[in-house]
Structure 1
Amino acid sequence: MRIIKKMTIKNNQRGATTIFLSFFVMNILLMMALTAASIMIYQLQMSKEVSNSVPAFYAADAITEECLYQVRRLEPNSGNDCTTVGATAIQAVLDNGASGEASLTAINQIKTFGVFGGTQRNIELVW
């Protein structure tokens, strides 16, 4: 018959057990805090990109309107960049620092993009 000895923790080992458990709990709390911080940093980056998206889109829209004006009001192949298919793209810089570029890629197609704060938005206009 086997005798099972009752496991007891000696008084000098109780402090070590407490330290080990508190270290384990602190590691779990640290991991939770680091995870929450990384999620918040990601969300801050996304909100910055969203706030830069609107001026970038408006820059693309403004340069699209300029190119469309040239296509509709000026003579075809008159030397202006948006009256000739495949010509050099027209560029613009707005007061807020946003910039844009547009080109006539086909008889009835304009492709543009606007950039603000590292965020780029594209517009393709077909009529």
Structure 2
Amino acid sequence: MSERIVVVGAAVLDDGRLLAARRSAPAELAGRWELPGGKVEPGESSERALVRELREELGVRAEVVGRVPGEFALRAPYVLHVWTARLAAGSAAPRPLQDHDALRWLAPDGLWDVDWLDEDVPAVVEVARVAWGSGAPVV
């Protein structure tokens, strides 16, 4: 049995909107949307990993706000933990730098206008519940 590998996903919220990132790699994921983030490195906390991944992938300084309840299954042995985050004061605007070719801010009524990765859908549903309550549209 292999050990779980934790991947952190960022629910970056700003002005009532959620940031989605379109994958450009690997080829089997290209064109689909996800919450930005990546693997937690050995000895690294989830919060530090999230801040590092957002800097590397989007060129932003971010602040972790809180953990979204749940652990979401990805391809074994990976599991996704999602954290809400906000852009730090004075941070540059997000831009796709690594593994993404587009970004989009989604309001609650447009949350499902993008083709989310299947594995991210349960996490996005939970983010919507946490961020916008029961009034948020779901698939």
Q: Taking structure 1 as the reference length, what is the TM-score of the superposition?
A: 0.24
Q: Say which structure is richer in strand.
A: 2
Greater share of helix: 1
TM-score by length of 2: 0.22
Structure 1 or 2, whichever has the larger Rg, is: 1
